[in-house]
Chain A
Amino acid sequence: MLALSNVSKRFGGVVATDAVTLEVAPGEVHALIGPNGAGKTTLIGQISGSLGTDAGTIRFENTDITAWRPHERVRLGLARSYQVTSIFKRFSVMENLALAVQARSGSSFSFWRPVASETALFEEARNISREIGLAERLEAIAGNLAHGEQRALEVGLALATRPKLVLLDEPMAGMGPEESQRMIALIGRVRASVTVLLVEHDMDAVFRLADRISVLVNGRVLATGRPEEIRADPNVRRAYLGDELAA
């Protein structure tokens, strides 16, 4: 579904991603793990188009999207969420979700008709709010939500564009155990209809959710495989997982 081939990105002299080759199969939850600074977020940026790609190609459903702009990739069904929460803080939850639904449902060059009259937008926004567990918070201003709720909305914005593949960049960042459980349950529900590329440090979540795992170290893919293979891989243990699993 998503195929990266020799994708690289340099920031000045620093190599952030180095000839990354990676394939995400339709329907799977593919986790991307690795130590801090391994280039995971850079790679998400390159796949979503907010960062350029110096070398290599990115293909999505057999279309070469390497040079596409971010909004064009979203139209194709490739959406992302951010590690640092990026929502419309002064909009209500409903307005946030309805906007994302609107962005997908045709042109917004409509200058006269009140958007409030488009019940279909809000109906769909309500459905998504149920999916992400914010149905009771529709009228709340996003900036006033609790951290866990903001993280849920962050993922909800990506889902509201009805993607085929969603890139989740550390959805559990800064969450307590209870909130993390809720997020794991959410991703568990989402996976039924959407392919997921998940960047996450929470190994409990990764090993519970992932069908396959790729390990990124120093911008390179060290290994890709099923969770038990990754857990057993001596290279991975040495480079990254050793500390995590020993702890």
Chain B
Amino acid sequence: MRKVFLVILLLLAFPVAMQWLGYLFYVSFASRVLIYAIAATSLNLVLGYGGMLSFGHAAFVGAGAYVSSILVAEGVASAWIGWPAAVAAAALLAWIIGAISLRTRGVYFIMITLAFAQMMFYLVNSMKAYGGDEGLTLPRRAELGLGVDLGNEVAFYYTVLAILLAGLYALHRLAHSRFGRVVVAIRENEARAQAIGIPVYRYQLVCFVIAGAAGGIAGALLASHGKYVNPNVLHWIQSGTLMIMVILGGVGHLWGGVIGAAVLLGLEHLIADHPIPWLAQIAPNYQQHANLGVGIVLLLIVLFAPQGIARLLERKRNARP
């Protein structure tokens, strides 16, 4: 518990420290990390808690990004309309995709969620009115009102942080609720869950929709952050990246998505922006292959800490087989 407060305190103090040191760029970078933390955490709900190997989570992030961006492009700049609309659209999409996909299991489930996400990818690619494959540039970020200017990097950071912390608290509550217990039980032993009277499909679908909705808010924030959205936000590589974040951080761990997003994006940034002279001498353009470094780290984690970084950081409590 003390560790959690320390982390929150550090996150709260971060922009102040960066401003003082004159590294304001890092505040914007940190906002990006926190947005990905929201997206990865929402995936962790289906993947980690629910045990559903969804390979199409980018569809929900993308739906949120596009719906909120289209609203801004059409002159509806208020975040109070754009963000709830993003959540609603992502939830609706998750309901449709989930209702069909959850009738399958295993590899078929992975493939069908992937296929749906790719369909969405090609759909936005063909939306010429909203940029098509070139993407959609926004005149400004969404407007929050209340005297908060989201164009200001520090204000934007705190807004994202507030949403992330609210989301984490909600996930914490959910994980310990009746619903959370049931979802985890289905992950652990689906046949038995059914045999004690749990309507498995219904609970999995609701879990899928909640996660999709949360992915939608991440998408809206992502689009607002860069004032730009393009179809790549729905590409399967994006789904894969979110999956890697969850696996790195800790599958089914409250902080898994946050840690995974921070480590992955941090690593990418480190490799790309901080050349190592001796390595550059051997392999001159190694920085263009940052993913190789990420891949090696992922391999090490999967081999030596398959439960993710979050559990590495935890003291070992009563181990469960």
Contact of A87 among B178, B182, B192, B198 (CB under 8 A): B192
Contact between chains at A70 and B177 (CB < 8 Å): no
**B192 nearest CB neighbor, chain A only:** A86
Q: Which of B289-321 contact A (CB under 8 A)?
A: 318, 320-321
A112-B174, A113-B178 are known contacts. Are A48 and B195 too (CB-CB below 8 A)? yes
Most chain A C-beta atoms within 10 Å of own C-beta, residue among B173, B179, B181: B181
**B206 nearest CB neighbor, chain A only:** A109
A197 interface contact, C-beta 8 A: no
How far, in whole Å, are A82 and B199 apart by their CA atoms in the complex?
A: 19
Contact between chains at A110 and B178 (CB < 8 Å): yes
A88 interface contact, C-beta 8 A: yes
Contact between chains at A115 and B189 (CB < 8 Å): no
Determine the interface band of chain A, counting residues with CB < 8 A from chain B. Answer: 35 or more
Q: Which of A93-118 contact B (CB under 8 A)?
A: 95, 99-100, 102-104, 108-116, 118
**B200 nearest CB neighbor, chain A only:** A71
Chain B nearest CB: distance from A89 CB in Å?
Answer: 6
Contact of B185 among A79, A91, A113 (CB under 8 A): A91
Q: What is the predominant secondary structure among interface residues of chain B facing chain A?
A: helix
Contact between chains at B177 and A88 (CB < 8 Å): no
What residues of B have a CB within 8 angstroms of the CB of A50 in the complex? Answer: 191, 194-195
Determine the interface band of chain B, counting residues with CB < 8 A from chain A. Answer: 20 to 34
Contact between chains at B179 and A109 (CB < 8 Å): yes
How far, in whole Å, are A74 and B192 apart by their CA atoms in the complex?
A: 11
Chain B nearest CB: distance from A191 CB in Å?
Answer: 21
Q: Which of A57-88 contact B (CB under 8 A)?
A: 69-72, 74-75, 79-80, 82, 86-88
Contact between chains at B194 and A99 (CB < 8 Å): no
Contact between chains at B177 and A112 (CB < 8 Å): yes
Contact between chains at B173 and A88 (CB < 8 Å): no
A198 interface contact, C-beta 8 A: no
B203 interface contact, C-beta 8 A: yes
Contact between chains at A157 and B192 (CB < 8 Å): yes
Contact of A74 among B173, B177, B191, B196 (CB under 8 A): B196
Contact between chains at B178 and A160 (CB < 8 Å): no
Contact of A90 among B176, B188, B193 (CB under 8 A): B188
Chain B nearest CB: distance from A103 CB in Å?
Answer: 5
How far, in whole Å, are A158 and B203 apart by their CA atoms in the complex?
A: 21
A161 interface contact, C-beta 8 A: yes
A contact set with B: CB distance below 8 Å = 48, 50, 69-72, 74-75, 79-80, 82, 86-91, 95, 99-100, 102-104, 108-116, 118, 141, 143-144, 157-158, 160-161
**Which 9 pairs of residues, A with B, have the shortest CB-CB distance?**
A74-B197, A108-B178, A143-B321, A110-B178, A100-B196, A90-B320, A103-B197, A108-B182, A86-B192
Q: List 11 A-B contacts (CB under 8 A).
A: A86-B191, A86-B195, A88-B185, A103-B182, A103-B193, A108-B198, A109-B179, A114-B173, A118-B178, A141-B318, A157-B196
